[in-house]
Amino acid sequence: MATPSDEMTNKLTWRRFEDGNNQWDSFTDKIFIADTSYKCPTYVHKTPPCQGSCPSGEDIRGWLAIVRGQEKPVEGMEMGEYAFRRSTDANPFPSMMGRVCPAPCQDGCNRNEVEDFVGINSVEQWIGDNALENGYKFEAGPSTGKKVAVIGGGPAGLAAAYQLRRKGHGVTIFESQPELGGMMRYGIPNYRIPRDKLAGEIQRILDMGEVEVKCGVRVGQDVKVEELEKDFDAILWAVGCWTGRGLPVEGWDETPNCVSGVAFLKAFNEDRMKVTARKVVCVGGGDTSIDVVSVARRLGCIPGHEGTEHPEKVILDDSVSHEVDESAKQHAEVTLTSLFPKNNMTAAEHEVNDALQEGVTILDEVMPIEIVRDENGRATGLKLAKCTMDGGRPVPVEGTEQVVEADLIVAAIGQGGDLTGLEDFDNGRGLIDSDSFYQVPGREKHFVAGDIIRPHLLTTAIGQAAIAADTIDEYLNQQEHKKRPKVDVHHFDLEKKLKEAGLEPEHFDPNAGDQRGTAFANYAVHNYEDRSFAEIIPADELFLGHFEYTPRVKRKEEVPTADEVLGHFKERVIGLTTEQAVEESKRCMSCGLCFECDNCVIFCPQDAVYRVPKNEATTGRYVATDYARCIGCHICSDVCPTGYIKMGLGE
């Protein structure tokens, strides 16, 4: 897990690695017993854990290296654009994801073993915002004449459309809502996702051309599946999950002022719900529940607000909108309940802390057991009990019951799909089945991605969309599906980098005679092994002693207090400046790939490790070894901070 934020407020006086790992007992012993070794160094590329933890599979190490200035852009391209190109190879929404992704990459970051993770999200936000400011565009591939129907214009559908256009296929997006964006637009509040930034990142995809959009069209009702099968070469289902699960207590469905978190946030994001109830209780513990309670605190209430303007009427009927006197608003009492302790809630730690600062009451380790109603059948409270977990299920603790008063109860405990009109695709759980290539089993032409497979993160849906686009491309080209790698991410490709730098290996002629002993032949990439498709490099393969304590460059946050929160809809996260983004990127340890620190060159006692001549060097080919000099002492491997040098040659 990432380092707790309160642990990082003071400079550390200790290191997470074992004392002594940052210095050698005796270089003499290392050198003079070296002649017993038969191994020499080779350069082994592995996937860093940040990328291995990213459901989108972004080349995080790569774009951090670009921002820090270590990997140079192609001629004529600015650093910001080059980083944008590398980032969006996997994910076309850097501005959005830099703001709202819960960042499993940061939990996986090896820098946590030194002091604190690299602020990957903050640098990604800078890349995205800088791209919008400079008007960077996407490029489509040469047209293939093939047409793909994408059902759903949310993160999965839009990401798939982007990847398919890069491959040259035409796309038509069918979206049931009035606007594109899916949960990025209708499920996340505007103070977390600025609508101008969202519009810019969506428009950039539409500007690729051959992307037709049909909003307000529901496939299965307005358009038949059979029509799509006739008119399109392939169909991708990315319909998302728009129904919220109710609480597993008696009478939930019959109680008018009990609603789902999905419906609550949709009504707010459509600008229809402008006031909430006086006392709101939300059951959850994840990011959606945090959004619900934060929105409720910002909206406030108007005591005595009755009739057609009850919040639940606006939430449950999309034809109803509030008309309120903003000056009459007061703070709402908002409570969030969770089965788990605060430090184990699935919501991001900083989101939980922000909610507390905004005046939300959090009751943890409790479960709902009963809805308390009045004579009209409306909820007036929610009975809770302390709970313990048994096999993943909550068990109430007898004698700990309490009632929390409520005028509106919101369930944010999960989502499901609405496959009305598409019953043939329903797997019985309101979802669509998928194989490992994101095809719908037994359905030719049909593919699937996103929450409708299993509700998860936005970045998960985007990652699935990229793989589904690969599968669709293979299907359209009548190719067999390639086996996906064990570590299935967007890898750094040394051969591609060499070609970009004009250093592509020469053509190999198998009929050119005896070509044994290829140490200096230019048709091969020497002493390099790519294991990134199979291995993620752990912290214990790095030389952590190389890295000094360097505090994270944090984004500023404008989180309102409980007194200031009413009507506060300004963006909370203030992005990094260019200088700050560069500084934070320099904290990346480049796990599994050389970042040109020169340790191996400096410490090699035989001068066997040397810098590649500048006119032959590029990322991943900064140093090489003269094996006529190497004695196998493995000092270069020991002092390599990134774990890129392995004593493997000769095995």
Output the pLDDT for position 30: 55
Sheet harboring 528-530: ordered strands across?
528-530, 40-45, 645-649
Q: At a CB cut-off of 8 Å and minimum separation 6, what does 261 contact?
A: 244, 282, 284, 288, 289, 291, 292, 410, 411, 412
What stretches of 538-604 show up as alpha helix (H) in DSSP? 578-585, 599-603
Cα–Cα separations (whole angstroms), residue 83 to 63, 543, 589: 5, 27, 17
Output the pLDDT for position 13: 45
Output the pLDDT for position 14: 45
Q: At a CB cut-off of 8 Å and minimum separation 6, what does 350 contact?
A: 5, 557
Query: CB count, 10 Å around CB of 588?
Result: 26
Which amino acid appears at position 260 of this protein?
S
The interaxial angle of helices 60-68 and 79-87, nearest 10 deg, is 180
Q: Quick check: 439 and 471 in contact, CB under 8 A?
A: yes
The continuous run of DSSP H or E covering 327 comes out as none
Residue of 44, 45, 34 whose CA lies nearest to 634: 34
Please state, in angstroms and rounded to a whole number, the distance separating the CA atoms of residues 592 and 117: 16
Mean pLDDT by 10 residues, the chain (651 residues): 49 50 57 61 96 97 97 94 98 97 95 96 98 98 98 98 98 97 96 96 98 97 96 98 95 95 96 94 96 97 68 85 85 97 90 95 97 94 96 93 96 94 95 97 96 96 98 97 94 92 84 70 82 96 94 94 96 95 98 96 94 92 90 90 86 56
pTM for the full predicted model: 0.91
Phi, psi of 9 (to 5 degrees): -75, -20
Radius of gyration of the CA atoms of the chain, in A: 28
Residue of 376, 250, 251, 260 whose CA lies nearest to 316: 260
The two structure tokens encoding residue 196: 């101008």
Domains, the chain = 5-68+491-649 (no CATH), 147-242+417-476 (3.50.50.60), 244-414 (3.50.50.60)
Name residue, tokens 């909550």: 394
* Backbone conformation region of residue 203, classed left if phi is above 0, alpha if psi is from -120 to 50, else beta: alpha
Q: Which own/partner contact pairs does 550-554 have at CB distance under 8 Å and 24+ positions apart?
A: 550/115, 550/587, 551/8, 551/11, 551/115, 551/116, 552/8, 552/116, 552/117, 552/118, 552/119, 552/584, 552/587, 553/119, 553/122, 553/580, 553/583, 553/584, 553/587, 554/119, 554/122
Q: At a CB cut-off of 8 Å and minimum separation 6, what does 310 contact?
A: 257, 277
